Amino acid sequence: RQWLEQYGEGTYTGWMNVQRPDQEVLKPFAEYDFWMHTEDTPVTQEQLKECISIGSSVDGDFLAIHPDVKGLLWLPRHDESIILWSCSEADFGETLDRIYCRYYHQDKPLAPAYFEPWNELRNHTFYHLVNVEREDSMKALAELCKSKFKWDAVLENEYTCKLFMVSKG
């Protein structure tokens, strides 16, 4: 809840889509045996209908909560085991990093950690400037922007450049 209030919906470090709680997403999955349900499983197949989806990975895995279970439920697309992760509201990002490292067999999380918020339409807004004396390319405008401010993190390759400034959120 705290994460959504502060940042809204969006993509965490390019792999986890954090979304508004949705009580309907996992209901159809309860009818199928996608995941094993033993005495060690954090939720029963019946409880799966009551789970609330709060995110999904780019690979189709689900992140969910259940009213009677303390922690985050990881429902992987390519594995039969549901995993329970301890998590407080204060360490949600750190928990996502731990999930990433374990599930994707990495020694350390993706760095730098970043969050790309979505607007209501889940797209970006672009502006076209008219009546300007110079008509630079998008690349030239991006270079100008990059050079004029002090950025906390820069992710750049030949196709894209993402600039992050903590003070701007």
The string of pLDDT tens digits covering residues 104-151 is 899 998 877 888 878 655 555 555 556 666 666 667 777 888 898 888
Q: What's the mean pLDDT in 35-58?
A: 92
Does the pTM surpass 0.75? The reply is: no
Residue 57 confidence (pLDDT) above 80: yes
Cis peptide upstream of residue 112 (ω within 30 degrees of 0): yes
Max distance between CA atoms of the chain, in angstroms, equals 70
